[in-house]
């Protein structure tokens, strides 16, 4: 099969790779669409020791099952494979399973390829006629869905009465904002530095956008969702959250800095990490997408898999306005 292979820092090459082999209850999926994630960018830059070269990256995928229990069905893929038996799996928090694996991280190859194998339980059927490129957005939006769910249960008021700020207008940040809009949040701000992207997302929902490098944005809000995860965005989160408010931290940009422990203590600010999503979160997100509850989802840019190297460079240099680039094998 043809695959886009990460071969070293900032190096991607289209190569012929062995077709994956199906075993057990797994399905062989012909990939139709696969998105470029921030974690793919992080690995491509050489900053993720968990993803050593050579490796096929990519985990935001949808396609057609050509072998296995769901043969003939178009599906969107939950890329997290958990044991299903441990305490956290049994409690519905499969994303915290100590034995979890994800495609695009050894021992599992990723979905920047023509084919991938996954357990049938990780696949969600796509309704007939629904575009697979939209279904591929289930994975990044599920991260925002999970963050909103965790943040909402800590808030001292319903989301419909809460002012909210999302840091970062990429697919995870925009996805979180769309989830907040679907839950009728009282006010939704999005901080985004890319002017073309800021203009695009301002037209996709009831959002107030601003450039955090030039504008002050909202005074303080009840809920901040950090979809970037660098020291600077964590500092912004603590500056912008109200006393008694909540910060939900999704982004994995850097490992330290920006957390104001003193203010968190004195003003009872809740800071929670949110890692990916549960299986139920993924299914709920996919259903919300199929039902049209998260908008038209007309903001990704589609490119051939062969143009993957250029897409990575365009994202790095800020030339890509779209919150998500989706590759087509």
SS3 labels along the chain: CEEEEEEECCEEEEEECCCCCCCCCEEEEEEEEEECCHHHHHHHCCCCCCCCCCEECCCEEEEEEEECCCCCCEEEECCEECCCCCHHHHCCCHHHCCCCEECCECCECCCCECEEEEEHHHEEECCCCCCHHHHCCHHHHHHHHHHHHHHHHHCCCCHHHCEEEEECCCHHHHHHHHHHHHCCCCEEEEECCCHHHHHHHHCCCCEEEECCCCCCCCCCEEEEEECCCCHHHHHHHHHHEEEEEEEEECCCCCCCCCCCHHHHHHCCCEEEECCCCCHHHHHHHHHHHHCCCCCCCCCCEEEEHHHHHHHHHHHHHCCCCCCCEEEEC
pLDDT for residue 144: 97
Along the 329 residues of the chain, how does pLDDT read in single tens digits?
999 999 999 999 999 999 999 988 899 999 999 999 999 999 999 999 999 999 999 999 999 999 999 999 999 999 999 999 999 999 999 999 999 999 999 999 999 999 999 999 999 999 999 999 999 999 999 999 999 999 999 999 999 999 999 999 999 999 999 999 999 999 999 999 999 999 999 999 999 999 999 999 999 999 999 999 999 999 999 999 999 999 999 998 888 999 999 999 999 999 999 999 999 999 999 999 999 999 999 999 999 999 999 999 999 999 999 999 999 99
Enumerate domains of the chain plus CATH numbers.
Answer: 2-137+300-328 (3.90.180.10), 141-273 (3.40.50.720)
Q: Residue 252's pLDDT is what?
A: 87
pLDDT of residue 253: 87
pLDDT at site 18: 95
């Amino acid at each position: 099969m043809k695959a886009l292979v990460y071969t070293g820092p900032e190096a991607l090459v289209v190569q012929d790779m062995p077709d994956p082999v199906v075993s057990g209850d797994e399905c062989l999926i012909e990939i139709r669409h696969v998105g470029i994630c921030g974690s793919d960018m992080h690995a491509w830059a050489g900053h993720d020791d968990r993803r050593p070269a050579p490796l096929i990256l990519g985990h935001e995928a949808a396609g057609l099952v050509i072998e296995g229990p769901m043969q003939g069905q178009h599906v969107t893929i939950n890329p997290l494979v958990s044991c299903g038996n441990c305490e956290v799996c049994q409690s519905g928090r499969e994303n915290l399973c100590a034995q979890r694996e994800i495609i695009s991280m050894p021992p599992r190859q990723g979905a920047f390829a023509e084919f991938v194998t996954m357990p049938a339980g990780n696949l969600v059927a796509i309704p007939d006629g629904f575009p697979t490129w939209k279904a591929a957005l289930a994975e990044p939006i599920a991260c925002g869905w999970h963050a909103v769910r965790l943040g909402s249960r800590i808030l001292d008021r319903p989301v419909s009465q809460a002012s909210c700020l999302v840091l970062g207008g990429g697919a995870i940040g925009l996805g979180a904002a769309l989830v907040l809009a679907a839950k009728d949040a009282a006010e939704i701000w999005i901080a985004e530095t890319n002017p073309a992207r800021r203009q695009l997302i301002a037209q996709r929902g009831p959002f107030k956008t601003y450039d955090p490098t030039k504008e002050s944005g909202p005074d303080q809000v009840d809920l901040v969702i950090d979809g970037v995860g660098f020291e600077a965005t964590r500092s912004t989160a603590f500056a912008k959250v109200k006393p008694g408010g909540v910060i939900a931290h999704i982004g994995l940009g850097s490992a330290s800095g920006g957390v104001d422990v003193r203010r968190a203590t004195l003003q009872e600010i809740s800071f929670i990490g949110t890692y990916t999503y549960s299986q139920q979160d993924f299914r709920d997100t996919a259903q919300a997408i199929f039902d049209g509850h998260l908008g038209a989802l007309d903001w990704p840019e589609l490119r051939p898999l062969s143009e993957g190297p250029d897409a990575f460079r365009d994202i790095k240099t800020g030339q890509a306005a779209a919150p998500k680039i989706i590759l087509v094998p």
